[in-house]
Each structure stands twice: as structure tokens, then as C-alpha cells.
Structure 1
Amino acid sequence: MSDSAAAERHRRVAQRFGSAVAGVAPGDWDSPAPVAGWTARHVLDHLLEWSRAFLASGAGVELPAGPSTSTDPAGAWAVHAAAVQELVEEPGDRSLSNPHTGDVPLAVAIDQFYTSDVFMHTWDLARATHQDDRLDEAECANLLAGMEPLDQMLRESGQYGARVPVPDDATAQDRLVAFIGRDPLWRPPARS
């Protein structure tokens, strides 16, 4: 993937996640999420925290700290997404080193690992907070096609739950969600 394609994909995916963040009703941040033991706020915190650690340890990149997710979730996401967008738009010859991937151009690493994670967690946040959780079917199919050959390695990493069975005619989104260990039929508790 070219740097410009990675930048455009990040912009699109980050904006979609940002829309989900903006759409969370104030009382829904503590609602359960489809990830066992997580709330909606945990989904946002996860994306901010692991990406900061990933980029700091692998590329020496220190992302700016935004507002706290407990007081300004939308502001926290906006600062973070803008900083990552700047990285993918101006990566230069920077690379990310990781014992599992070796040296990878920075924009490619952000695209493959971070942007894809944001895309998948958009479903988690939207579903947890009673929002439209539909993802792009073609992107779901592409991600799934790239991940399925790595099934054993992904499970052993501890980053994904057990694959959830779905019908043969399930949508690409439901198959992707099930592959990463979510039940596509999971629903949040009704609002009181």
C-alpha cells in the first residue's frame, strides 16, 4: 500500500470511529462492550493506549497526550487521530521495528496494525452504544481474507478471542466480527 493510500484509509476509518465517539450518549460510556469485561470507554482507551506504546517502542514516536477520555472522549480521540494522521501523511523514510514483524515502513505498519484495529473496534463501540454499527462490507472481506491464513498465530497472540461460529451465508461483517471473537448477535442491555 502506498503512503497516500494508507493516509486516505486512516482518514476515512478514523473519521468513522470519531463519528461513533461523538454519537455516544454521556451515560453510555460505561455500557458493556462486546469484548468481555470491557465498557465502551475501554474500547476508546485501548486504541489510544496500545497505539501510543506500539509507536513509541517500535518507531520512537511519542504521540501527544490529549484530554482524558473520562472528561472529554471526543477531544481525546480528535487529538489522537490528528497526530496519527500526520504520521501517515509525512512518514518519510521512518520505519517501525517489532520482533514479530521486523522492520516495516511506518505508514504500512500504521495501516496494517492500527488502522485495521480502529476499523474493527468501530463495530464494538457502535454496537455497545446503540449506534449504527455497519462497516464497509468490502473492507470487512479484505481484512478477513488477510487474517484467515494467520488464524493460529493470531489466536496464540492473545489479541483475539475464540472464533464464533456463524452461518455459511453470513455477511462479511458478521464473519469478520466472529473471526476476531465477537458474537455478531451480541446486543447491549436496553437503556433504562
Structure 2
Amino acid sequence: MSEIADRYRRHADAFERRIAATRREQWGNPSPCEDWTARDLVGHIIDMHGVMLRPVDRFMSPAPSLRDDPLGAFRAARADVEAILDDAALAGRECRTPNGPMTVERHIDEVVSNDMVFHGWDLARATGQDDTIDTVDVERLWASTAAVPKEVMDMMRTPDAFGPGVKVFGPEVEVPENARLQDRLLGMTGRDPR
């Protein structure tokens, strides 16, 4: 198993645990992502799994509905992406992305795998769960996010810059420089850790 596939599974496991721990009455709770509920967060992650299938001409498998069974819907989407990661030829195929050409595997890593970390925090906040992000992920995401050039970060903060309805990050939230790294990372991505 590649490092990327292993990381994806670790992130998917953590996200799945948070879905499983969400009580039925919490699915309508507002999330830290403006205008999204807890259910919307999971729907977004499932949709992004579908986007990861396009470069290899695959589609989402039949799955339970997000409304009736968020956990089942996520597990089906996860299985579709894991099937790609488990196939070296598909995972290594080059694809075009907004960040330039890269392998399908790397695209999964940089988009949906990382997204599960951030939206896992959002889901935890929306449902009163432990919102701790693994230290390894905090350090890796801090290094990669802090290295994004300012003009690219500004574009990532601009609604619709990557397509209609797409907003990557909100405006930066000021966090004290002596705050823990997780809080500084969240602030950089437009989330208020307080």
C-alpha cells in the first residue's frame, strides 16, 4: 500500500468515526462552514469522492441516500476511491487539475483526503465531538498550506474562483502566534478555533 493510500484510509477512518458518532437529531446542526449543516459537510465529502473518479472514467456506485443513511453513503463513496488507490495503473494515471498535471493518487491526496481532515474538524464542532486533529496531519498541512503563495491563497479565498459555488477557504481568522499549531492552521483556512 502506498503512503498516499495509507494516509487516505487513516483520514477516511477518522471521518467515518465522526459520522458514526453523529446522532440523528444532530444532522441539521449548523457547521463552522457558512450555510452548511452537519449533513451538508458529509454530502460535500461524498461529492468530492465522485470528482476523484472522473479522471479514470468511473462513476459512483449505487449507494444509500445521504438523507437516509449518511454513514452508508460515505462508505460507498469511500469504497469507490479505495478501489482506485488499490489499482496501481489507475492511481498512477496522470490527470489535469486546477493545480496542474499530477497523478490521480496525488490528486486524491491533495483534495479529498486533506478535505476529510478539515471537514472532520467541522463535523466534530457541529456535533460536539472531540475536534482534535492528528498531530502528524496538523504539521503536514501547516507546512503545505503555509507554503502556498499569497496570490494563490487569495484566489483560494475568492468565492467561485475554482468554479460556481466553490469556496476553498474563508477569510483568515487571526489566531495568536503562540497558539497551538492546530489552531493556527484552522485560522489560516478561515476557521475560528475558538
TM-score scaled by length of structure 2: 0.87
SS at match of 1:131: coil
> Displacement of 1:149 after TM fit?
2.4
Alpha-carbon displacement from aligned partner over 1:4-48 (angstroms, at most 9, x marks no partner) = 101110111100000000000100000000011110011001111
For 1:178, the aligned partner's letter is G
In the superposition, relative to structure 1, how do residues 68 and 104 fare at CA in structure 2: closer, same or farther (>3 Å)?
same
> Displacement of 1:54 after TM fit?
4.6
1:167 matched residue in structure 2: 176
2:122 matched residue in structure 1: 124
Alpha-carbon displacement from aligned partner over 1:130-175 (angstroms, at most 9, x marks no partner) = 1111111231121121112224313313311011000111112111
Name which structure has the greater RCO, CA cutoff 8 Å, separation 6+.
Answer: 1
Q: Quote the Cα distance in structure 2 between the aligned partners of 1:8 and 1:182.
A: 27
TM-score scaled by length of structure 1: 0.88
1:35 matched residue in structure 2: 33
> Displacement of 1:83 after TM fit?
1.5
Q: Quote the Cα distance in structure 2 between the aligned partners of 1:165 and 1:152.
A: 19
1:59 and 1:97 in contact (8 A); partners too: no
**Which moved further from structure 2: 103-112 or 19-28?**
103-112
Q: Quote the Cα distance in structure 2 between the aligned partners of 1:84 and 1:166.
A: 35
In the superposition, relative to structure 1, how do residues 60 and 103 fare at CA in structure 2: closer, same or farther (>3 Å)?
farther
Identity %, equivalent residues? 31
Give the aligned length: 181
1:188 matched residue in structure 2: none
SS at match of 1:30: coil
> Are residue 76 (structure 1) and residue 73 (structure 2) matched?
yes
Q: Quote the Cα distance in structure 1 between the aligned partners of 2:114 and 2:120.
A: 10
Listed as ranges, the matches of 1:47-86 within 5 Å are 47-56=45-54, 58-86=55-83
> Displacement of 1:65 after TM fit?
3.6
1:155 and 1:161 in contact (8 A); partners too: no
1:155 matched residue in structure 2: 154
For 1:46, the aligned partner's letter is H
For 1:135, the aligned partner's letter is I
> Displacement of 1:106 after TM fit?
1.1
For 2:49, the aligned partner's letter is S
1:59 and 1:95 in contact (8 A); partners too: no
Which segments of 5 or more consecutive residues in structure 1 lack a partner in the other structure? 186-192
Q: Quote the Cα distance in structure 2 between the aligned partners of 1:106 and 1:178.
A: 29
Root-mean-square deviation over aligned CA pairs:
1.6
Q: Quote the Cα distance in structure 1 between the aligned partners of 2:12 and 2:121.
A: 13
